[in-house]
Amino acid sequence: MRSLLIILFFILYTSQGYSEVDDWSSYGKDSGGGHYSKATEITPENVKNLKKVWTHRSGDYHKGLNWTEDVTPNSSQQTSFQATPLLVNETLYYCTPYNRVFALDPATGEEKWIFDPKVEKEGKALMHCRGVGSWIDSEKVESDKCYHRIITGTIDAELFSIDGKTGELCKDFGDDGLVDLRSGLGDHNPAFYYSVSPPAIIGDLVIVGGGIPDNVSTSVPGGVVRAYDIRTGELVWYWDPIPPGQEPVIDDLGNQLYQRGTTNVWSIISTDPELNLVYLPTGNTAADNYGGHRNGSDYYSSSVVALNASTGEVVWHFQTVHHDIWDYDVPSQPTFYDIKKDGKIIKALAQTTKMGLVFLLNRETGEPIFPIEERDVPQGAVDGDYVTKTQPFPSKPAPLTPTYLDPEDVFGFTPWDKGYCKKAAEDYRNEGLYTPPSIEGSVHYPSAIGGANWGGPAIDASRNILIANTMNLSSTIVMIPRSDCDKALKDLARDSVQSRFSALQQNEGTPYCTIRAFGFMSPLGVPCTKPPWGNLTAIDLDTGEHLWQIPLGTSKDLAPFPFWWIKGAPNIGGPTVTASGLTFIAATSDYYLRAFNTLTGEELAKFRLPTGGHATPMTYKNKNGKQFVVIAAGGHWAVGSPASDHLIAYALPD
C-alpha cells in the first residue's frame, strides 16, 4: 500500500511540476514547433497589466547600415538580434548576434555563465543567431559533467557542445567540444557558409543544416544536412540533396565531397521522435534567379523533405515551388498539429511560405490534407532558362497575401510618388505570382522576404488555430547579360530610385547578373504596394478557413510624423500563443510587443520596446508558477529598425 501511495504521489508531483514549470526546451517550444505554451496565469483580461521586470543586455551589436542606405549584405551591415531563448532546468539560455551564449536566472535575468566561441566578425554578413539546442543525457545523473548539453552553431560554421550547468565545453564532443562544419565542403569564402539557426535534436543525434548567401555563385558550398552523435560529435549520416540516381562528386583521392550549389537548409528543422522522422525546409538551388544550368539538381529545392532519422534516407518530399528562380525558398519550421478527418487522427504539419501560401500536409506520408492544385502560371524565361507550366496552389487555406500588384491600386504619399509607382508597375513585367525574372525587369510579388518568413506560425493546440504574420511587399528583379555585369549599378539601373533601393548581384557561373530590389519603393522610400504592409492571420486548421485577418503594427517609427496613421507594418519575427487564448508578437517595424485575442484578433495590449523586436517571443512559468513573457529587441536591417541588444522580460505585478 505504501509503495502504491509513493507511486501516486510521484505521478501527481511530476505532473504538477511539469505544469508549473512548463519548460521551453526547443526553439519552437516543442521539437515540431508551434510556439504554444500551456501557461494560463496571463489572460486576455489581465494582459494589459504586464510590467517589465528585467532586461538583460549582452553588448553584442553594431549599428552598421540598413536597407535605406545599402541593401547589399556586407561586413558593415548592422546586426540583428533574432534569438528565441530556451528555458530548461530553471535556466534561460540564449545566443547573441556574435554567437555568444548566455545562461540567465529566469526570474531576475542575472547571468549564471557566458560562453564565447570567439567568432571572426570581419568579412561576415548578416551577423545573427536564432537559437540554441538543448539535450539531457539519460545515461548520466544531474551532478555529472555535461548531463545537460547546450548545442549551438556559429557564423563561422562551427558546432559547439556546452555544459548547461557551467558553460564549459564538453570535451568529449568532436575536437575538445567543437565540430568543424566546413569539413567536406571544399575551399570557399568563409562568409559563404554559416550555421545560425538552432540545431535540431532527435534521440542521440544532433541535426544541422547551413546557410548560403543568395545570388553569389553556382559554386557556393553545398547544402548538405548532417547528423552527429550528440555525445561524441562523430558523423553518423549525411544527406546530400542531389537528385535520385545522380552520382556524388569524388575527389582525386577517392573521398566523397558534398556537391556544390545544392539546395540548403538554412531555417529551422523539425523532428518527430514517434515517427522517427526529420523534417527539412529547403532553400533554392544556386544561383537563385537563374536555373538554366541546374539540369534537375533542384529536385529537392524549395521543398519539405522528410528523412529517416536513423539513416538520413528520404521518406517523402513535397515541393512548394517547381524550378524556383524567385528565391521562394521554404523559410520556416515545418510546424506540427493533429487533425481529425474521416474519424481518424492524422498527424499533420503546416508549412508557411514566402508566397503567402500555406501547405497543410500529412507528416507521415506528405499527402495534402486539403487538395493541392497545379495551376498555370506566367511563361517566358530569359534565354537559357525555363519555367514550368504550372505551380502548386493549395485549395485551402486561401493565400495570406495578395499576389498581383495592380498599377491602378498602387500607393504613394503624394500624387508624384504614387505616379512613379503606377508607371513602374506598368513598365515592368507584372503578371502576378511567378512572373519570370526578365531583362526588362519583373515585379516580384510577394517579395523574396515574404509573405511569411523564418518566424514561422504559432499553433494553438487546444483550439487548432494557426496564427501567422506576413508582409504585403513587392520587389523587382532585372536580369543583366554577363557582358554588362562589370558596369556600375547606377549605369545599369532604370532610374535613380531603382539604383537607391537595389543591389547588383553577380550570380557567377551563369549568363546573367541581377539587379534586385528587396522592396519596390517610391521616390520617397515608401512601398508601392497598398497598405496594410503587414498582416496577422488566424486559420482554423480543422476547416482550412481564415478566422480573421488584421493589420499588424503601424507606420510609426517607419514614416515621419504625421504619417504614423498607416495600419499594417513590415515585419520579421513570429508569434507565440498560450492556452489562455493569447497571441504575443513583436516583429513589426514599429517598436512594440503586442498581445491579441487568439479567437477574435482583437488587440488587447501593447508594450513599447527600445527598437524593433524581430524575433519570436517565448513564455514560461518559473518554479513558483509565475508566468513571464520574453522578447529579444535588437532591430533588423531589412525593415530599418536600429540595432540593439535588449532581452526583455514581462510579468504581472506580484
Instruction: Classify 9 as helix, strand or coil.
Output: helix
**Residue 494 has which C-alpha cell?**
532604370
Contact indicator for 185, 476 with CB cutoff of 8 Å = no
Contact indicator for 298, 290 with CB cutoff of 8 Å = no
Residue whose grid cell is 557542445: 161
Handedness of CA 413, 414, 415, 417 (dihedral sign): negative
DSSP-derived secondary structure for 326-385:
S-----S--EEEEEEETTEEEEEEEEE-TTS-EEEEETTT--BSS-EEEEE----PPTT-
Instruction: Indicate left, alpha or beta for 47 from its phi (over 0: left) and psi (-120 to 50: alpha).
Output: alpha
Looking at this protein, which amino acid is placed at residue 16? Q
Other CB atoms within 10 A of residue 230 CB = 24
CA atoms within 13 A on the CB side of 626: 15
Contact indicator for 81, 572 with CB cutoff of 8 Å = no
Instruction: Classify 496 as helix, strand or coil.
Output: helix
| 417 is an active site residue | no
**Which of 22, 327, 460, 645 does the annotation list as catalytic?**
327
Contact indicator for 43, 582 with CB cutoff of 8 Å = yes
The 8-class DSSP code of residue 431 comes to: -
Whole-angstrom Cα distance, residue 426 to residue 447? 17
- The residues annotated with a catalytic role in the active site are 327
